[in-house]
Structure 1
């Protein structure tokens, strides 16, 4: 990383400095990168099952859309109400901003005693109908949705 940073920002190629390369190699001996923590399936199911919809409905809906559709945060941000269609199961047409290819995914019924479709329907029912914008995700607070659009972060 240091080599590339110096090359890009300062236009210095440190490959010509063999003694510096040797010092850097000696300094990195024994370095072990930290492993990122990852949610297991049981953790997600426990979250969906045990948290109340009044407190964490927005977090549940974001995790459902992210897991079922493998969505990036920018793709969730631009998701519109017209992209989410309820036909027994919930079908979502996702616009992919990185590869410019639209993808569809479905949110299907009962998963280990949890029905993600019902959670999506509940959020959609709480969402105000007469909102100035067409984005799917709006602010959810104290058991109610407001008109305020949720930001990407």
Structure 2
């Protein structure tokens, strides 16, 4: 690699997103390799049109647009070429995409998830079970689970607090894993919490850890592994994205019961643990719902709640709350730190 080329690559790297920098540089390198092969020393619209016509023999229309997007960012820095006004090239991409239907990510329903978590043997599938739980409850991306470390978890004794850095925004979000999912995750992290810098996902075979980090490609295959265990004929069409995508169709209530999300406006409150403070013994979750038809499950010995009334209960024995016949309902969750162990719902 020449000095000039190395300097250009370094300048490009400075303006690229850290998470996808490698992808940008790989796409640009592929383009420059093609130019060298064709003995072309410059970039123009006819040159790129010829390049994308070759790519169209290999890639789907969605992938062609992806290559175009990445080159649109790298070429101005590397070669001082702006391709935003290459309308003939964009017309070619648009023509290629006509009639193309991108495959939707296949998802798991509540019965599939319960079946896998209950019946898949831990000695072979424990890391996959934990990834499924994080993907649905998080909901976490494969890259987020790949980067997750032991220090991102806090064992509360009966629940696991996950403090996750969102890969795109670099901000943190918190969520709780409670019974019965806590028991599965607790088994996987047992004995490893004393090393906060260690990566969460290590290989686990025949009931023993292997001192080897699980690679990103393994996360992408986990959806297929779950579908294969469940004897799906189309198991090869599932991927790591299937976990997070399944979260949109799943409800996990306060007792850890999994069910499919109803199509009606009514929604069951997932968990009062969400976004709770890392110090659970001092956490209070304050919620308000401006709807007169809100009702509380009386089987939990809590009186029916009207608007602006408060309910107090221990954070570990919170009642299940169901909102029915709701229209234009707004739920606000605020974190308040107190010295008591009570959760207040307004």
Report the TM-score range of the alignment, normalised by the length of the smaller protein: 0.7 to 0.9
- Structure 1 equivalent of residue 108 of structure 2: 39
For the 8 Å contact 1:85–1:91, the answer to whether it is kept is yes
Query: Alignment partner for residue 174 of structure 2, among 104, 128, 131?
Result: 104
Structure 1 distance, partners of 2:89, 2:174, is 47
Query: Alignment partner for residue 142 of structure 1, among 206, 215, 233?
Result: 206
Instruction: Give the count of matched residue pairs.
Output: 141
Structure 1 distance, partners of 2:178, 2:136, is 12
Secondary structure class of the residue paired with 1:57: helix
User: TM-score with structure 2 length normalisation?
Assistant: 0.35
- Which stretches of structure 1, 4 residues or longer, exceed 6 Å deviation after superposition? none
Residue 15 to residue 134, structure 1, CA distance change in 2 (3 Å) = closer
Structure 2 counterparts to residues 1-153 of structure 1, below 5 A: 1=61, 5=68, 12-14=86-88, 24=95, 28=98, 33-87=102-156, 88-109=158-179, 115-125=180-190, 134-153=198-217
Residue ranges of structure 1 left out of the alignment (5+ in a row)? 110-114
Secondary structure class of the residue paired with 1:38: coil
For the 8 Å contact 2:150–2:199, the answer to whether it is kept is yes
Residue 72 of structure 1 deviates from its aligned partner by: 1.1
Residue ranges of structure 2 left out of the alignment (5+ in a row)? 1-60, 76-82, 218-346
Q: Which has the higher contact order (CA 8 A, sep 6+)?
A: 1
Aligned CA RMSD, in angstroms, stands at 3.4
For the 8 Å contact 1:128–1:147, the answer to whether it is kept is no
